[in-house]
Amino acid sequence: MIEIERLTVELDGEAGIVRAVDALALTLARGETFALVGESGCGKSMTALALMRLLPENGLVTAGRVRLDARDGAAGAWAGEGGHAGAIELLDLPEAAMRRVRGARIGMIFQEPATSLNPVLRVGQQIVEAIETHTPLRGADARARALQWLERVGIPEPARRIDDYPFRMSGGQKQRVMIAMTLAAEPDFLVADEPTTALDVTIQAQVLDLLRDLQRERRMGLLLITHDLAVVAGMAHRVALMYAGQIVEVAPADAFFAAPKHPYAQALLRALPGRAARGAPLAAIGGTVPPLTQAFSGCRFAPRCDQVMAHCAGTPPVLLPLPGVARAVRCLLYSPGFDTSARTESPGSTEPIPVRPDPPPVRPEVSKGQHATDASTPLLQVQDLTVRFPLRGGPLQRVRGHFDAVRDVSFTLARGRTLALVGESGCGKTTTGKAIVQLLRGVAEVSGRALLDGADLLAMQGDALLAARRRVQIIFQDPFASLNPRLRVAELLEEGLVALRPELDAAARRARIAELTEQVGLRADALQRHPHEFSGGQRQRIAIARALAVQPDLIVCDEPTSALDVSVQAQILNLLRGLQGTLGVSYLFITHNIGVVELMADHIAVMQGGRIVEQGAAADVLERPANAYTQALLAAVPRLADRC
């Protein structure tokens, strides 16, 4: 259905020309799910944006072709004067014609719904607009179809929520609206850039089932861009792994997960979190993706590879087809004529390629460090927390009633421990976290108590609240919305230090910022760039570094790894566990990733409809869930082992 030949995308960045995609070639068949995976910043999203001709202003396709096979008679309006059906060269289309391809022929679900939805239009208006633009439906019929799609993607009370603005919805609900808006146009082909990143496992399963049903009904092709390898294992027919702008392995999904060939693929699978990794550091991949402004003389993965050879530094590998199955690998290990025994760690004249290792993670034990204390000591006690939002209506937007987003929530978080707060999108997890750190004042009615070492956070004002913010930080779910777009990364990280750590002088602040940059896996040149110059996963790393900067006692982690790929997720989780071991920091971990819960949590609280329906020790909740909702939640978790 879509054929991509030697696609090359360049970006004009402050540090020079960035070759974000380098001679990429793919063929995507009708009715097929093709998964594009790899680390943040490797070129996955740029490939999708180039395909849709939605590159940023500083982006340009410098080489390659993208062809879309037209349906019978469908190409007449833009395939030439004869109107004959045939392949459409997407990169050659005038913009007016390309608008008719977008949506109707190729739809796209964007990675960050908060930046993809118009904040001044109700969600129903935005879905109706897509329906009226690309289908024959109009007016009441289009609105009825929009309601159907909101229901299909799992929005609760769709008849009421259709008239909400995006800001009134949770991150997961905004993502579902984005999915509904794209699917409502019933495209022939769907480009899904992290479509389930912000969704809990039950809604994720519902949306993935919906995509499978649409594929069967319409033979819809799907280009799935994701870092969730379990989703890939359950959905994809074929997999392509990208690194530093290139495809390094492409294979049928079964073959890829059963026996990955490229060292990068093998390292990714070893980095997955879960109960098996509990008590030991994850196998994170050291270093970061290299800057794509440089000219490469050898293998781009060599500085991070645990199987690197002497030849790798000077010989660029090509994508080699392998015998047996339809797969190819870009690695000299499979190239004829090279001595694969010449590893750099072997004795002799070969010099190892330098690798920047990650700092060794520390096991999460609170028996060391100046702040470590008895883990049975309560740090945070939440008692009968209730959060009520006003419901407004009418031309003057008067309060017509109230909605209880959180009702009588109580839990205790011990010092140096992790409490995971899990549940479906919209159940009140994020609202609970924001209420604890006093971010809902003036927006909602908050009652109850949140005691930090006996002092009620909800009653604090002025200097007392400022001092408490030094001890309690939050990592927000949406990194783009939480980072000031006008500030460079260095300024973003220094801002909190200036406000909350006034005892640090300028030199100490710079040293702390350099340390944070290294810890979260960002290159030093990132400090002088703005948030919009980074991928979603890289922005999340910046947000994590900002929360860690003031060395708090408690961090509310609202989906801190949802936008991160597997390797960076492993680095961040190792970092968080190491900090817990050395400093005794506590985490209220809000997440829908059960693998992360299995790895990180000491205790689990399960929320449904604003209430906690089950809580207890992590092992008890995960292995012997008592509540029916908890059982359904765990049953919906995709498991990579099922495919392997």
Q: What is the pLDDT of residue 375?
A: 55
pLDDT number for residue 376: 62
Q: CB of 450 within 8 A of CB of 435?
A: yes
Counting residues of the chain whose pLDDT is more than 70, the rounded percentage is 89
CB-based burial label for 81 (10 Å; 0-12, 13-18, 19+)? exposed
Rounded distance, CA 576 to CA 587, Å? 9
Helices and strands: H and E segment counts in the chain: 21, 22
**Weakest-pLDDT range from 76-85, 158-167, 428-437, 527-536:** 76-85
**Of 40-44, 132-136, 209-213, which one has max mean pLDDT?**
132-136
Angstrom distances, CA of residue 518 to CA of 101, 159, 287, 523, 586:
43, 48, 9, 7, 22
pLDDT of residue 409: 96
pLDDT in tens, 246-259: 999 999 999 999 99
pLDDT confidence of residue 122: 94
Mean pLDDT of 39-64: 90
In a domain, 394, yes or no: no
**575: enclosing H helix or E strand:** helix 566-583
Q: Are 380 and 586 within 8 A, CB to CB?
A: yes
* Distance from the Cα of residue 104 to its chain's centroid: 27
pLDDT at 222: 93
255-284 residue pLDDT tens = 999 999 999 999 888 888 876 666 677 777
pLDDT surpassing 70 at residue 306: yes
pLDDT at 399: 78
Look at the chain and report how many structural domains it folds into.
2
Q: Phi and psi dihedrals of 479, rounded to 5? A: -65, -30
Instruction: Provide the pLDDT for residue 358.
Output: 39
Among candidate residues 169, 171, 43, the one with its CA nearest the CA of residue 560: 171
Residue 478: band (very low, low, confident or very high) from pLDDT cuts 50, 70, 90:
confident
Is the pLDDT at 508 greater than 70? The verdict is yes
Q: Is the per-residue pLDDT at 400 higher than 90?
A: no
Cα 295 from Cα 291, distance rounded (Å):
10
- Which single residue is written with the structure tokens 């109960």? 275
- For residue 429, what is the enclosing H or E element? helix 429-436
Confidence check: pLDDT of 572 > 90: no
The last residue of a domain, from among 205, 236, 267: 236
- CATH at residue 568: 3.40.50.300
Residue type, 504: L
| φ, ψ (nearest 5 deg) of residue 321 | -70, 140
Instruction: Calculate mean pLDDT across residues 25-44.
Output: 88
- What is the DSSP secondary structure assignment for residue 373, as one 8-state letter? -
Confidence of residue 559 (pLDDT cuts 50, 70, 90): confident
**CA 248 to CA 256: how far, in whole Å?**
12
Quote the CA–CA distance of 562 and 540 in Å, as a whole number.
Answer: 9
135 is a domain residue: yes
Q: Rounded to an integer, what distance in angstroms lies between the CA atom of residue 488 and that of residue 527?
A: 7
- Separation CA 88–CA 80 (nearest Å): 10
- In a domain? residue 256: no
pLDDT given for residue 277 in this prediction: 61
- The parent domain of residue 540 ranges over 415-443+459-642
Pairwise pLDDT comparison (438 vs 171), residue with the higher score: 438
**In a domain? residue 43:** yes
389, 160, 110, 286: CA torsion to nearest 10: 40
The last residue of a domain, from among 236, 255, 279:
236
Any domain includes 297: no
In a domain, 349, yes or no: no
What is the token pair recorded at 297?
């003389």
Of 191, 213, 236, the residue that ends a domain is 236
Alpha carbon 303 to its chain's center: 25
DSSP summary character for residue 517:
H
Mean pLDDT score of the chain: 84
Which range has the worst mean pLDDT, 231-240, 281-290, 342-351?
Answer: 342-351
Tell me: pLDDT of 379 over 70: yes
Sign of the CA dihedral 60, 63, 68, 73?
positive
Residue pair 155/104 in contact (Cβ under 8 Å)? The answer is no
State the residue for tokens 């050879």. Answer: 309
Beta partners for residue 192, in sequence order: 109, 224
Task: Please check whether residue 628 lies inside any domain of the structure.
Answer: yes
Please state the rounded mean pLDDT for residues 575-593: 86
User: What's the confidence (pLDDT) of residue 563?
Assistant: 67
Range with the lowest mean pLDDT among 171-180, 309-318, 600-609? 171-180
- Return the minimum-mean-pLDDT range out of 321-325, 497-501, 511-515, 602-606: 321-325
Is a pLDDT exceeding 70 seen at residue 351? Answer: no
Check residue 163 and give its pLDDT: 92
Tell me if 380 is assigned to some domain. Answer: no
> What is the Cβ-side half-sphere exposure of residue 255, based on CA atoms within 13 angstroms?
18
Ranges of beta strands (E only) in 29-58 are 33-38
Output the pTM of the full model.
0.73
Q: Which of 150-154, 320-324, 391-395, 446-450 has the highest mean pLDDT?
A: 446-450
Find the helix or strand (DSSP H, E) in which 101 lies: helix 95-101
Residue 619's nearest CA partner among 597, 588, 590 is 597
Q: What angle do CA 225, 633, 383 make, to 5 degrees?
A: 115
Please give the structure tokens belonging to residue 332. Answer: 């000299």
DSSP state of 333: G
What is d(CA 155, CA 279) in angstroms, rounded to the nearest whole number?
Answer: 38
Cross-sheet strand order for the sheet of 472-475: 472-475, 554-558, 586-590, 418-422, 603-608, 611-617
Q: Please state the φ and ψ torsions of residue 46, each to the nearest 5 degrees.
A: -65, -35
Backbone angles phi, psi at 164, to 5 degrees: -80, 155
